[in-house]
Amino acid sequence: MRRQSLLVMLGGIAALMVAMGIGRFAFTPILPMMMDHHLFSAAGAGYLASSNYLGYLIGAFLLTLVQVKSKSKLLMIGLIVSVVTTWAMGVFHTLDLWLGLRFLSGLASAVVFVIASSFVLERLTQFQAGIFYGGVGAGILLTGLSVPFLAKHSDWSGVWKGLGLISLILGLAACYFLRDKSSRTKGPISPQALPSADARNILIWLMIAYGLEGLGYIVTGTYLVAFAKTISNIPNIAGFSWTLVGIAAIPSCVGWSWLAARWGKKWTLTVSMMLQSLGIIIPVLCPSTATVFASAILFGVTFMGITTLFVAYAKDLYPTNNRKVIGLLTTCFSLGQIIGPIVAGLLIARNGSYLSALIGAAVIVFVGAVSLPIGIGRSNRKPFRVSN
């Protein structure tokens, strides 16, 4: 790998660790700590999560409309907002302010994810891009390890501040490496060119399936570690299960890209979403520490791989319009994410358990999985090749 390509990849990984692994997903392992202090109810947790995803939705949608003159400057702004909002979660102590902070954090996450993805995909091969998307898993792993360590020396507010400092260091590295003056290193051009009607049909079904994925997966992403505490007496089960998610997520994007090169993206997405659905439901059907760990691993090994494949699929359909198509897919994904935590939070608050919310999430992800081969049908007779 050329030195410039390596720097771009490292910068992209750092950016995803800041905005996604920490800014977006740190709320999950910190959530049980905040709820233990009775700072809000399960419904309040749902509102906080949905506020973040509303910001993510608006950010992704705006990026499909606006003309971006400097990707590096917009990326820098997104990273700054992500760092500040992470730190500020430990400074303020009211639900109203937290709702605003989580909204801004979601907005920043969308900006960083879409811009960094567009930036990196223009300069790296698909295999290298798979490593780049592992940055989300690396951020989750870092969060899973940092939260228990910080919690030993401080309360929940100190944990947020500590993660803010970590984000600052990673954000500076990302801003340095991801600059527009970097020379482009383009990967091979996709060998397939679909007729526009087929491309539009496939994109519509990708949007539907990705929206269902967002609706179902985020319930697990929000409540997995809180649910784990209800069925296991292992100390720090919340942090450990979230660490497993990160470990499983890091290599997953490369692995699913490798499978997509052999099976085609349609069938690879179908299998990965079915596995995720299984991971959501197994601790509900057989509650135990072992099934919680299995759920965490299956969740980690699928959720970013699924995102990678959806983005790569859209890039193959519209190779010259990456940012807008990625933004469009992310918008559909975000719509599902907004609905999921609100409905799940209300169900949990009403029923006093996580069971109905998790069962519903598993069913929704499964429906999204089967919608791809049914909807796309034979439009994609020859599977796209993933560049190596």
Instruction: Give residue-wise pLDDT tens across range 179-217.
Output: 765 444 444 444 444 546 788 888 899 999 999 999 998
Tokens standing for residue 273? 């979403």
Tokens standing for residue 113? 């994810």
Count, residues in the chain:
388
Q: Where are the alpha helices (DSSP H) in the chain?
A: 3-16, 27-36, 42-63, 71-88, 95-121, 126-153, 156-177, 196-231, 237-249, 252-263, 265-285, 289-317, 322-351, 355-376
230-240 average pLDDT score:
76
Q: How far apart are CA 280 and CA 228, in angstroms?
A: 12
Q: How far apart are CA 385 and CA 191, in angstroms?
A: 7
Residue 98 has pLDDT above 80, yes or no: yes
Place of tokens 């135990």: 288
81-95 average pLDDT score:
95
Q: pLDDT for 323-378, tens place per residue?
A: 788 888 988 998 888 888 778 888 888 888 888 889 999 999 999 999 999 998 76
The more confident residue out of 64 and 109 is 109
Mean pLDDT, the chain, integer:
85
Task: Return the pLDDT at 89.
Answer: 96
Residues 388 and 261 sit within 8 Å (Cβ to Cβ): yes
Residue 237 has pLDDT above 50, yes or no: yes
Percent of the chain with pLDDT over 90: 42
Nearest CA to 205 out of 365, 9, 368 is that of 368
Nearest CA to 175 out of 6, 11, 3, 8 is that of 11
Q: pLDDT for 355-364, tens place per residue?
A: 888 999 999 9
Q: How far apart are CA 303 and CA 313, in angstroms?
A: 16
Q: How far apart are CA 233 and CA 128, in angstroms?
A: 40
pTM above 0.85, yes or no: no
Residue 381 has pLDDT above 70, yes or no: no
Nearest CA to 303 out of 327, 279, 335 is that of 279
Domains of the chain, with CATH numbers?
Answer: 3-376 (1.20.1250.20)
Task: Return the pLDDT at 385.
Answer: 40
Tokens standing for residue 360? 């519903």
Residues 12 and 120 sit within 8 Å (Cβ to Cβ): yes
pLDDT band (50, 70, 90) for residue 5: confident
pLDDT band (50, 70, 90) for residue 235: confident
pLDDT band (50, 70, 90) for residue 130: confident
Residue 382 has pLDDT above 60, yes or no: no
Task: Return the pLDDT at 1.
Answer: 62
Task: Return the pLDDT at 384.
Answer: 40
Residues 8 and 182 sit within 8 Å (Cβ to Cβ): yes
Q: How far apart are CA 345 and CA 357, in angstroms?
A: 8
Q: How far apart are CA 8 and CA 254, in angstroms?
A: 17
Task: Return the pLDDT at 189.
Answer: 43
The more confident residue out of 266 and 124 is 266
